[in-house]
Amino acid sequence: MAEAIVLALVPDLMFATRIESALGYLGYRPLIVKDAAGLLAAAHIQAPALVLVDLAAVGVDVPAAITALKASPVTRAIPLVAFGPHLDEAARAAARAAGADAVVANSKLALDLPGLLARYAPANESRSEPREP
C-alpha cells in the first residue's frame, strides 16, 4: 500500500523540518510547500489525505488559500487542519471562517500529530503506529 500524502504549507524551514520528520516517522509521505500557489497546485495534482496550513506563513494569504481549496470540487473534501500561535485568535477565526476543518495551536500539532492524523486522515489509520527506523 502506498504511503498517504500529507501536504503542508509551512514556509518556516525549522518547523517544516520537524513536521516532515514526524510525518515520515509515522508512515506518511510529507509534501512541504512554501506558498499558496504551491499548495493549490500540489493539492490538485497529488490528492493528499490531509492538508496542514501554517497560519503564521509570512507573505501568504492563508484564509484565501483555504477558501480556494474548499471551493474547488477537486480539493474541497480533503481535510484541512490549520495551526498557529494560540494567542493569534484573529488568524484562527479567519481560518475557521475560510473553511478549515480544524484549527489548532502549534503546541497541539507538535504534541498530538498522531491523533490529528488518525482523526483527519483515516485512510492511513493502519499506519497510526510508527514505522521501524
CA distances from 105 to 3, 10, 133 (A): 26, 14, 28
Residue 15's pLDDT band, with cuts at 50, 70 and 90, is: confident
**Selected residue with higher pLDDT from 1 and 18:** 18
CB-CB neighbours of 37 under 10 Å: 11
Question: Which pTM does this prediction carry?
Answer: 0.89
Residue 12, pLDDT score = 87
Residue 126, pLDDT score = 41
Residue 112, pLDDT score = 93
Read off φ and ψ for residue 88, nearest 5 degrees.
-90, 70
Q: What is the mean pLDDT of residues 107-116?
A: 92
From 14-23, 30-39, 122-131, the region with the lowest mean pLDDT = 122-131
Residue 49's pLDDT band, with cuts at 50, 70 and 90, is: very high
Q: Is 90 exceeded by the pLDDT of residue 89?
A: yes
CB 25 within 8 A of CB 131: yes
Average pLDDT, the chain: 89
User: Which residues pair with residue 33 across a beta bridge?
Assistant: 9
Q: Which CATH number fits domain 5-122: 3.40.50.720, 3.40.190.10, 3.30.450.20, 3.40.50.2300?
A: 3.40.50.2300
Residue 123, pLDDT score = 54
Q: Is 80 exceeded by the pLDDT of residue 129?
A: no
Q: What is the 3-state secondary structure (H, E, C) of the chain?
A: CCCCEEEEECCCHHHHHHHHHHHHHCCCEEEEECCHHHHHHHHHHHCCCEEEEECCCCCCCHHHHHHHHHHCCCCCCCCEEEEECCCCHHHHHHHHHHCCCEEEEHHHHHHHHHHHHHHHCHHHHHHCCCCCC
The number of angstroms, rounded, from the C-alpha of 28 to the middle of its chain's C-alpha atoms is 12
CB 49 within 8 A of CB 121: yes
